[in-house]
Chain A
């Protein structure tokens, strides 16, 4: 079983700020990691796959990096619509989520 630990649990920032979200795997997963965004009342949306590839239609301000056990989702300049919960995922395992709030 792969444990994915996200930090911080909650991140309080303002529009225009840079956001850095972390996901740590309990063992090496190469670059097989995805990031999802979930807004209230909506299904999750794929943002990043294979650690650093943006999914179709995802703005360039979202970027992913990392390999092995440590991964980062960066939002370069927060827009109001970016305040949501973010999950990392590897195969059948999800992190517990990071809530990005104003």
Chain B
């Protein structure tokens, strides 16, 4: 079955960077876009961007485009999201989510289990 397994929780200081991984299995990695979505404690969902694992083309939300980098390693079917210049407002659960339909970006299914990133001095 399709699985997305994310890396473990991180604690970072303000100004630092964090890199979260999303290891996929159960499907052809390069066939489906991968999204990153975050959720601050007790809050709603915020889309950060997507990567096309086939071409490595990315599309970032305007709020993140100057400090997020999404990459992938096709040899190990893994996607990465690196967020820099962290502040306390970046404390959140970060999810990777595969596009629901092959070759499209529209809907998200399934999702990884989430990675908690805590930013604290």
Total contacting residues, chain A, CB less than 8 A: 18
Would A91 and B106 be within 8 Å (CB), given that A43-B95, A43-B112, A97-B44 are in contact?
Answer: yes
In contact, B113 and A93 (Cβ under 8 angstroms) = no
Question: Which residues B41-85 have CB closer than 8 A to chain A?
Answer: 44-47, 61
In contact, A44 and B108 (Cβ under 8 angstroms) = yes
In contact, A43 and B111 (Cβ under 8 angstroms) = yes
In contact, B45 and A87 (Cβ under 8 angstroms) = yes
In contact, A49 and B47 (Cβ under 8 angstroms) = no
B100 within 8 A of A: yes
Instruction: Give the docked Cα–Cα distance between A69 and B30 (Å).
Output: 33
From B44, B45, B47, B108, give the contact of A46 (CB < 8 A).
B108
Question: Which residues B12-55 have CB closer than 8 A to chain A?
Answer: 44-47
B105 within 8 A of A: yes
From A34, A45, A94, give the contact of B46 (CB < 8 A).
A94
A92 within 8 A of B: yes
In contact, A96 and B112 (Cβ under 8 angstroms) = no
Residues from chain A with a CB closer than 8 A to the CB of B97 are 43-44
In contact, B107 and A49 (Cβ under 8 angstroms) = yes
Would A93 and B111 be within 8 Å (CB), given that A49-B100, A49-B106 are in contact?
Answer: no
User: CB-CB contacts of A85-102 with B at 8 A, as 1s and 0s?
Assistant: 001010111111100000
How close is A29's CB to chain B, nearest CB, in angstroms? 11
B10 within 8 A of A: no
A13 within 8 A of B: no
Interface centre among B45, B105, B114 (most CB of A within 10 A): B45
In contact, B100 and A55 (Cβ under 8 angstroms) = yes
The chain A residue with its CB closest to the CB of B45 is A94
Interface residues of B (CB under 8 A from A): 44-47, 61, 95, 97, 100-101, 105-114
Known: A55-B100, A92-B47. 16 other contacts (CB 8 A): A32-B106, A34-B107, A34-B108, A43-B111, A43-B113, A44-B108, A46-B109, A46-B110, A49-B100, A49-B106, A87-B45, A92-B61, A93-B47, A94-B46, A96-B44, A97-B45
